[in-house]
Amino acid sequence: MPESVARIATDRADRYVKQLASHFGHKVPVVQEGRQIEILFDLGVAMCTASSRGITVTVQAHRESDVAEVQGIITRHLEAFGQRDELRVSWTPTIDA
């Protein structure tokens, strides 16, 4: 299954993960457990984890094109939410095991 990971440095990771959960929770199912959320899009899943160093986002989908679309959705929202903090999201594809 195609997968991609982004690591976003911020000292406000909890705030941004909570904001993503709240925003997307009105549109698609969101599962929250502690400092981690799973956003369940029709195209795939975005798993977001807050830590003291920032946010780690992992996107999984059945097709590369769906991974790219979910990446775009997450990138647009995180960069908009974090505009004041100048958040930048860049993705790294992971190698299938």
Domains in the chain, number: 1
Q: Is the pLDDT of residue 96 over 80?
A: no
CA 38, 41, 43 angle in degrees (round to 5)?
125
Residue 28: CATH number of its domain: 3.30.310.50
What is the pLDDT at residue 93? 86
Q: Which domain holds residue 64?
A: 3-85
Whether 96 maps to a domain, the answer reads no
Indicate whether 86 pLDDT > 50: yes
Structure confidence at residue 59 (pLDDT): 97
Q: What is residue 97's predicted lDDT score, i.e. its pLDDT? A: 41
Mean pLDDT of 51-67: 96
